[in-house]
């Protein structure tokens, strides 16, 4: 707010030209611009490795490469309400820069030879020609195929046409595509997430991916904005069941608050709180037997899908969290479950704050409070109540 006017970009005494300037202004604010221009476009944003499992269940190490790109074309015109990827993007990244980032990433670790998987993330869609030059798409597909590494890329749904997949599979016949579906519900996609595509578009994309024998990874968002904790639990379980048969892997992302996003503004105005870790435990318990009918764990012949939850910023106030004293144990149990798929990883978890969580869920389900009844979980409860 400047001079009493809500304007975050340009001069404060001028009206914003478009609503976009109000909603997306953080991407254009001085701190964001300064950050964007502080990095070298020839260096990748982040490169790290994690333990993973190959499509056939063999344990391996996965190299994750996060490239600095022009970002997501949906963000250019609108953008999802929680997406903070703009922080890693810049308009002037060239194809040459991308090739340099890729080469530096592959050379980063001496033991790259032993890594069986490479995940390439572009803060958008690798197979989108407006975002990533065709020659670079081809380079990633070809290199991974020739090196014998399982490749995972991220994409929105509209790029996954038959023509595009036909082209891509001629270069690399077997890779995985992770789609940020967020919710299997058109109303939530439109009004809570502002996703810019519908469930029909996801249905079509996975049909095409299946036709070309590509692996499908589905990201679902746990507790999108404008939703209570109680509603999130009910919807979250339903969406997992809706997509399980058509997804090789479901990754549930508990909301974490990234700087400069719509959800950040809601969070700072006390109109949104990230999910409880207890809700994630409950969610796993609710759907576990839909995913693993005989509790035989990840990789078993009768598994419907694989359910993974890695709470980003778990235990922190901007990520999924509990009271502060039990967070570490609960996050660790959820992480263990994501690896093994064994429901007994969650046995024995308890804390006094579980009662508070339970009461919140009951209230959310019983009362007409669209934004939920949740209060701060950290600090002195009495002081929070007294504060205006
Ligand atoms: S589609 Fe993905 S990258 Fe694009 S704005 Fe939405 S969350 Fe961000
Ligand atoms: Zn606790």
Residue 85 Cα to ligand 1 midpoint, Å, equals 7
Q: How far is CA 301 from CA 243, 276, 296, in A?
A: 19, 32, 8
User: Which residues neighbour 297 within 8 Å (Cβ) at sequence distance 6 or greater?
Assistant: 303, 340, 341, 342
Coil, strand or helix at 381: helix
The answer to whether residues 349 and 329 touch, using CB atoms and an 8 Å cutoff, is yes
Coil, strand or helix at 181: strand
Q: How far is CA 217 from CA 181, 203, 244, 304, 370, in A?
A: 10, 13, 10, 13, 30
Residue 75 to residue 132: CA distance in whole angstroms: 14
Closest ligand, as measured to the CA of 323: 2
Q: Give pLDDT, residue 84.
A: 86
- The pair of structure tokens assigned to 381 is 């409860």
pTM to 2 decimals? 0.90
Closest by CA to 164, choosing from 211, 203, 121, is 211
Q: What is the sign of the dihedral through the CA atoms of 8, 9, 13 and 14? A: negative
Residue to substitute in 27, 67, 68, 80 for testing ligand 1 pocket (most ligand atoms within 8 angstroms of CB): 80
Residue list, CB under 5 A from ion ligand 2: 322-323, 326, 351, 353
Residue to substitute in 20, 69, 79, 251 for testing ligand 1 pocket (most ligand atoms within 8 angstroms of CB): 79
Closest ligand, as measured to the CA of 75: 1
- The 8-class DSSP code of residue 303 comes to -
Residue 285 to residue 233: CA distance in whole angstroms: 11
Residue 379 region by backbone torsions, left for phi larger than 0, else alpha for psi between -120 and 50, else beta: left
Give the residue whose CA is nearest to atom 4 of ligand 1: 72
Coil, strand or helix at 356: helix
Q: How far is CA 388 from CA 92, 318, 379, in A?
A: 45, 21, 16
Q: Which fold has domain 19-386?
A: TIM Barrel (3.20.20)
Coil, strand or helix at 189: helix
Question: Which ligand 1 atom is at minimum distance from the Cα of 154?
Answer: 2
Closest ligand, as measured to the CA of 331: 2
Residue 99 to residue 105: CA distance in whole angstroms: 10
- Measure CA of the first residue to CA of the last residue in the chain; give whole Å: 20
> Burial level of 386, CB count in 10 A (0-12/13-18/19+)?
exposed
Residue 29 Cα to ligand 1 midpoint, Å, equals 19
Coil, strand or helix at 5: strand
Q: How far is CA 102 from CA 45, 93, 106, 164, 192, in A?
A: 11, 13, 6, 22, 35
Closest by CA to 199, choosing from 213, 215, 188, 210, is 188
Closest by CA to 177, choosing from 256, 238, 251, 86, is 251
Closest by CA to 224, choosing from 252, 258, 190, 182, is 182
Q: Give pLDDT, residue 3.
A: 46
Closest ligand, as measured to the CA of 276: 2
Task: Calculate helix-pair angle for 327-340, 277-291, nearest 10 degrees.
Answer: 20
Q: Give pLDDT, residue 85.
A: 84
Partners of 252 in the β-ladder: 220, 309
List ligand 1's pocket residues with C-beta within 6 A. 72, 74-75, 79-80, 83, 85, 123-124, 156, 180
> Burial level of 262, CB count in 10 A (0-12/13-18/19+)?
buried
> Along the 388 residues of the chain, how does pLDDT read in single tens digits?
444 444 445 555 666 554 555 555 566 677 777 777 778 889 999 999 998 888 887 889 999 999 999 999 998 888 999 998 877 788 889 999 999 999 999 999 999 999 999 999 999 999 999 999 999 999 999 999 999 999 999 999 999 999 999 999 999 999 999 999 999 999 999 999 999 999 999 999 999 999 999 999 999 999 999 999 999 999 999 999 999 999 999 999 999 999 888 899 999 998 999 999 999 999 999 999 999 999 998 888 899 999 999 999 999 999 999 999 999 999 999 999 998 999 999 999 999 999 999 999 999 999 888 889 888 888 777 777 675 5
């Amino acid at each position: 707010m400047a001079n009493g006017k809500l304007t975050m970009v340009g001069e404060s005494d001028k009206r914003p030209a478009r609503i976009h300037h109000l909603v997306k202004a953080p991407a254009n604010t001085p701190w964001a611009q300064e950050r964007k221009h502080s990095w070298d476009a020839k260096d990748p944003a982040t490169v790290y490795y994690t333990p993973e499992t190959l499509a056939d269940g063999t344990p391996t190490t996965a190299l994750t490469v996060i490239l600095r790109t022009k970002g997501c074309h949906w963000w250019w015109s609108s953008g999802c309400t929680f997406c903070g990827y703009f922080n890693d993007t810049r308009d002037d990244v060239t194809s040459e820069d991308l090739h340099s980032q890729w080469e530096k990433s592959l050379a980063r670790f001496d033991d790259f030879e032993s890594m069986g998987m490479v995940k390439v993330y572009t803060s958008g869609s690798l197979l989108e020609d407006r975002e990533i030059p065709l020659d670079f798409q081809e380079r990633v597909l070809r290199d991974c195929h020739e090196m014998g590494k399982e490749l995972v890329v991220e994409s929105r749904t509209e790029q996954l046409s038959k023509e595009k997949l036909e082209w891509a599979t001629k270069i690399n016949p077997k890779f995985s595509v992770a789609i940020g579906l967020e919710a299997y519900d058109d109303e939530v996609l439109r009004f809570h997430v502002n996703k810019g595509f519908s469930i029909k578009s996801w249905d079509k994309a996975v049909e095409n991916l299946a036709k070309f024998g590509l692996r499908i990874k589905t990201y679902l968002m746990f507790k999108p904005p404008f939703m209570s904790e109680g509603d999130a639990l009910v919807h979250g379980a339903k969406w997992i069941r809706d997509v399980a048969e058509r997804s090789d892997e479901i990754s549930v992302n508990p909301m974490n608050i990234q700087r400069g996003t719509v959800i950040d503004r809601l969070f700072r105005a006390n109109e949104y709180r990230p999910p409880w870790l207890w809700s994630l435990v409950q969610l796993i318990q609710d759907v576990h037997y839909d995913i693993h009918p005989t509790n035989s764990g990840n990789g078993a012949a009768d598994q419907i899908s694989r359910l993974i939850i890695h709470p980003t910023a778990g235990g922190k106030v901007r990520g999924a969290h509990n009271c502060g004293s039990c967070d570490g144990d609960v996050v660790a149990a959820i992480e263990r479950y994501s690896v093994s798929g064994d429901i007994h990883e969650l046995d024995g978890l308890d804390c006094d704050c579980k009662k508070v969580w339970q009461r919140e869920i009951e209230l959310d389900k019983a009362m007409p409070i669209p934004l939920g009844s949740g209060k701060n979980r950290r600090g002195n409860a009495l002081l929070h109540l007294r504060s205006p």
